Homo-oligomer: A and B are copies of this chain.
Amino acid sequence: MIVPEVNADAIFECHKKNIIANPNCSTAQMVVALKPLHDRAKIKRVVVSTYQSVSGAGKEGIDELWDQTKSIYNPVDNKPPTKFTKQIAFNVIPHIDVFLDSGDTKEEWKMVAETKKILDPAIKVTATCVRVPVFVGHSESINIEFEDFLDEDEARDILRESPGIMVIDKREDGGYVSPVECVGDYATFISRIRQDVTVDNGINLWCVSDNLRKGAALNAVQIAEVLGNKVLKKG
């Protein structure tokens, strides 16, 4: 299993206090993509819009999408939404977790705060988190502004060589990853790597991951593994 080397010392410090912090699923996959690029060209600002699957809301979220979609084909079964605030079948909902005073949702705030905590407090993040009618697999449209220039080809090479990342990026029909294809996989998939010429040093990319693996269970195992290695080294 490939473990990204994200802040192992911070994890060890938490361990000493008997606290293990596992980031939110949408943040987890984003920082895997950002870390190697930040090491090379220093990220200043990130604008991210998410396409998050219903399994992020647990089994009830999955059941609601499944049953509600079926009821559209057979309206006698029609049930009002309970887990989500609006119909999720054949719809998208720009709201995940509770609203904060700032107007951000807590999910959006987590992407801001956890990226700073895990990678670098200097990185500015603004996020819009959206629920989509997908069972498993979160997708993210990520726009990144760097301190230094980073060519799209170099960004692609860096990501290809980074642990935990699989780059699938051909500029042709099907030459990118969609969430149904990432299900059951451990990698964070990156596609659509493009220069953003609207700023001096910008890159756009598309990031997809199985939120039930990288977002939760797998990430906890990976943290435990990093921690185990640290304890062994220090012990």
Distance to closest chain B CB from A127 (angstroms)? 9
B99 pairs with A172, CB closer than 8 A: yes
Interface residues on A, range: 35 or more
Residue interface mask A105-124, B partner, CB < 8 A = 1? 00000000000000000001
Distance to closest chain B CB from A150 (angstroms)? 14
B103 pairs with A176, CB closer than 8 A: no
Looking at the complex, which one of B45, B93, B94 makes contact with A198 (CB distance below 8 Å)?
B45
Distance to closest chain B CB from A42 (angstroms)? 15
Nearest residue (CB) in B for A198 is B124
Residue interface mask A172-207, B partner, CB < 8 A = 1? 111010111100000000011111111100101010
B92 pairs with A204, CB closer than 8 A: no
A178 pairs with B91, CB closer than 8 A: yes
A222 close to chain B: CB less than 8 A: no
- Chain copies in the assembled complex: 2
Looking at the complex, which one of B69, B139, B143 makes contact with A126 (CB distance below 8 Å)?
B143
B87 pairs with A178, CB closer than 8 A: yes
Find chain B residues with CB under 8 A from A134 CB.
90-92, 133
Q: Report A119-177 residues with CB < 8 Å from chain B CB.
A: 124-126, 128, 130, 132-135, 139, 141, 143, 152, 171-174, 176
A-B contact pairs, 6 of them (CB 8 A): A73-B73, A85-B173, A92-B134, A94-B141, A95-B173, A95-B176
Other A-B pairs beyond A91-B179, A99-B171, A143-B143, 11, CB < 8 Å: A49-B128, A51-B51, A69-B69, A85-B174, A91-B134, A91-B178, A94-B192, A103-B152, A103-B192, A103-B195, A128-B192
